[in-house]
Amino acid sequence: MSGSLWLKPPASTPPLAAPPRPRPAPEVPAGPGPAPDPLDELAARLDAFVAAAVHPDEIAALLESDGMTDAHIRLTYGRNDSFALAEDLYARVERCHPEPPPRTRGGRVRAEGLGGCLLRGLVFALPGLAYVLAGPLLAAGPGRYGLPAGTVPLLAGAVTGWVWNQALSHRAHTWLGLGDRAAAARALLTGAPAGALAGTAVALAAARDGELPAAVFAAGQSLYLAAATVLLVLGRERALLAALSPLAGALPALRWDLPDPFRAGLPALSLAAAVLVAARALRPGTARGAAGRGGPPLGTSVPYGLFGLGSGLLVLDAGLGESPAAGAGAVIALTLSMGPAEWLLHRFRGGSLARLRTLTTAREFRRAVTGTLVLCLGGYLTVLLALALAATLLWPGAPWPAPERLLTLLLLGTVLWLGLLLQAFGAVLGAAAVCLLAAAAQTLEPAAGPLAAGGAAAVLAVLTRALLVRPTAHRL
């Protein structure tokens, strides 16, 4: 939801051994005696990396990444290819797995804490109270496509904001990962207002007669999404929570009717507070950066925007149930579950790294990672189910969800969690493609919702296991 979960400054990662460089065969010494074995020299140079490897394929990947060709390997080391050379290196060097680096007070520790992740889940869900307050003010009369009045411009603006801000947060996180917080702030300073303008323009274009109040609310929604993106990327969740605190006044609206000025004033107050806090957070980081430094390619952030589009459409489909009350429980559960989901992603990462340090065979590692994956996914689905049932009990007039609705929700949760996991490990393009196809299937044929979600969950499960059972996928 807020970019890659383990991007951090390169200085905090312990350096690996220097990669091998193809070099000419050593000259034969003039004196008597055998020539030194170049394989021994290579093993000594790569001792730290080879000792930490849990499978020869890791070593082969390092050799190939530096352009060591099979012809060079045959000429210099007398082995057929990089895999044969990697197996010999693996056999020559004793296993010695390094301890994890000591934790610092940086952003990663903050993100790994359960309290911090729950806080993020809360700030994801609290903006929903603005819809509870402003709902009666948005539009009158019947809406389009069987939806409540004013829904179309709201959805159009929201989806535009999700797409833009997912891509923007990835770009800003990339700058943070490079250790350039000022560049990240500048990216947010230019990208966040542009995203707010784009969401507003799309909402206004989608509005029809009688939906101007909904379009105005959608403009505020776009502005809030921009401000929230800034604060979440910069780690200011507590400031965002404070800005959202006026929305707690929406709780009485679940039971009683409230005056219109009250309904309009509380969301406006929260919006103004969020924008001011975001602007203040950006001020220290807008200084000019180092001259001539190129930024990360813009195209690398596009898949993250596409993943935001696919996952956003899937969540919207879950919220458009037989009635607004029926869909509200699903949306509340999904948004609140994003906090535990993020924590479980970090738990999976930590468990996998622990197995990488302690296990000595690829088979043991595959089995351990698969078990950790099943446990973390099962834990997330348990939390999601509990939140869905609790939201149904607390939401006035919400019908008890049918078994097929709960099954669809759990399948959707599987898709979202596995998609976030793939995104965190850099395989975002596959996750985005699967989510977009599932969302398209549900949009074109709503009755195919469970089938589309189930198919997407199965495909993502296969992709996730195929990627994450490889030790090289877990290298920091």
* Domain membership flag for residue 5: no
- Region class of 224: left (phi > 0), else alpha (psi between -120 and 50), else beta: alpha
| 440 shares its domain with 351 | yes
- 209: closest CA among 285, 144, 283? 144
pLDDT (0 to 100) of residue 291: 44
| 323 shares its domain with 286 | no
User: What's the rounded mean pLDDT across residues 134-152?
Assistant: 71
pLDDT (0 to 100) of residue 34: 56
User: Would the pLDDT of 415 be above 90?
Assistant: yes
User: Would the pLDDT of 107 be above 50?
Assistant: no
Q: How confident is the model at residue 421 (pLDDT cuts 50, 70, 90)?
A: very high
Q: How confident is the model at residue 123 (pLDDT cuts 50, 70, 90)?
A: confident
* Domain membership flag for residue 90: no
Dihedral sign from CA coordinates of 323, 329, 333, 336? positive
Q: How many CA atoms lie within 13 A of 247 on its CB side?
A: 25
In contact, 422 and 428? CB cutoff 8 Å? yes
Q: How confident is the model at residue 133 (pLDDT cuts 50, 70, 90)?
A: confident
Find the range with the poorest average confidence among 77-86, 93-102, 125-134, 400-409. 93-102
* Domain membership flag for residue 38: no
**Dist. CA 256–CA 203, nearest whole Å:** 30
Residue 383 CB-density burial (10 A; 0-12 exposed, 13-18 middle, 19+ buried): buried
**Dist. CA 107–CA 101, nearest whole Å:** 15
* Domain membership flag for residue 373: yes
Of 251, 268, 296, the one marking the end of a domain is 296
Structure tokens at 72: 């060079």
User: Would the pLDDT of 396 be above 70?
Assistant: no
Residues 6+ apart with CB under 8 A from 450: 404, 407, 408, 411
Of 266, 296, 326, the one marking the end of a domain is 296
More confident residue, 240 or 95: 240
| 308 shares its domain with 242 | no
Helices and strands in the chain: count of H runs, count of E runs: 19, 0
- 23: closest CA among 47, 41, 48, 46? 41
User: Would the pLDDT of 398 be above 80?
Assistant: no
Tell me how many degrees the CA angle 11-189-213 measures, rounded to the nearest 5: 135
pLDDT (0 to 100) of residue 98: 52
In contact, 284 and 230? CB cutoff 8 Å? no
Give the tens place of pLDDT for each residue, 452-465. 889 999 999 999 99
| 288 shares its domain with 345 | no
pLDDT (0 to 100) of residue 101: 46
| 309 shares its domain with 173 | no
- 248: closest CA among 142, 129, 355? 129
| 382 shares its domain with 430 | yes
Q: Domain span at residue 127?
A: 122-296
Q: How confident is the model at residue 324 (pLDDT cuts 50, 70, 90)?
A: low
| 315 shares its domain with 250 | no
More confident residue, 412 or 296: 412
Structure tokens at 456: 């997407």
Structure tokens at 357: 């340090």
Find the range with the poorest average confidence among 43-57, 203-217, 374-388. 43-57
Of 275, 296, 317, the one marking the end of a domain is 296
pLDDT (0 to 100) of residue 319: 73
| 257 shares its domain with 342 | no
pLDDT (0 to 100) of residue 473: 76
| 203 shares its domain with 305 | no
* Domain membership flag for residue 60: no
| 271 shares its domain with 180 | yes
User: What's the rounded mean pLDDT across residues 294-311?
Assistant: 86
The number of distinct structural domains making up the chain is 2
Helix 449-468 vs helix 428-444: crossing angle, to nearest 10: 170
User: Would the pLDDT of 391 be above 70?
Assistant: yes
* Domain membership flag for residue 459: yes
Tell me how many degrees the CA angle 66-68-71 measures, rounded to the nearest 5: 165
* Domain membership flag for residue 65: no
Structure tokens at 327: 């869909």
Mean pLDDT value across the chain? 79
| 424 shares its domain with 310 | yes
Give the tens place of pLDDT for each residue, 325-364. 566 678 888 888 888 898 899 889 888 877 877 777 778 8
User: Would the pLDDT of 109 be above 60?
Assistant: no
| 346 shares its domain with 286 | no
**Dist. CA 47–CA 41, nearest whole Å:** 10
* Domain membership flag for residue 8: no
Tell me how many degrees the CA angle 220-156-436 measures, rounded to the nearest 5: 130
Structure tokens at 289: 């950066």
- 66-99: b or e for each residue (b if 16 or more CB lie within 10 Å)? eebeeebbeebbebebbbbbbbbbbeebeeeeee
